[in-house]
Amino acid sequence: MSYKVLLTRSAERDLEELYDYIAENDTQANADYVLDKLTGKPVPLSPTLSRKRAREQTNRCANFSLLEVAASLASFPERGSYPKELLQLGIREYRQAHFKPYRLIYRVMGKRVLIYLIADGRRDMQTLLMRRMLGV
């Protein structure tokens, strides 16, 4: 059984905001690098990104790309655990997948997997999830 995996507009904005944050607080080259790692695109070294820095970025980024995680959700959407922050509120309709240090929050609806949130897991996820998923 295959499911269709879709990004919501807010998840697309999450990717844009991650890129903008890194570009603003680090370098454009590193923002390009991280976005490429997230989306599974090839990562050519730019002249401003040293090999050592690239290795450090690779170690900090995902072992899997967003596309690889999405592909696995297309086959096994129930594999994700329930986000503990939502479980504490009794909410079991959302699941999560990880691609370090990022967390992807999604929901299975029929034959579709809707990705609602892509965030750095080091953030205050309780507040982020309450604001984003519950409108609090």
Each residue's pLDDT tens digit, 35-82: 887 776 554 444 444 444 444 443 343 456 777 887 889 999 998 999
- Looking at residue 9, its amino acid is R
How far apart (Å, rounded) are the C-alpha atoms in residues 131 and 121?
15
More reliable by pLDDT, 30 or 48: 30
Domains and CATH numbers, the chain: 4-134 (3.30.2310.20)
| Per-residue model confidence (pLDDT) at position 136 | 61
| Per-residue model confidence (pLDDT) at position 13 | 92
| Per-residue model confidence (pLDDT) at position 41 | 58
For the entire predicted model, the pTM comes to 0.76
Query: What tens digit of pLDDT does each residue of 1-22 get?
Result: 799 999 999 999 998 998 899 8
User: DSSP letters of the chain?
Assistant: ---EEEE-HHHHHHHHHHHHHHHHHS-HHHHHHHHHHHHT---PPPTTS-HHHHHHHHHHS-SS-HHHHHHHHHH-GGGSBPPHHHHTTT--S-EEEEETTEEEEEEEETTEEEEEEEEETTS-HHHHHHHHHH--
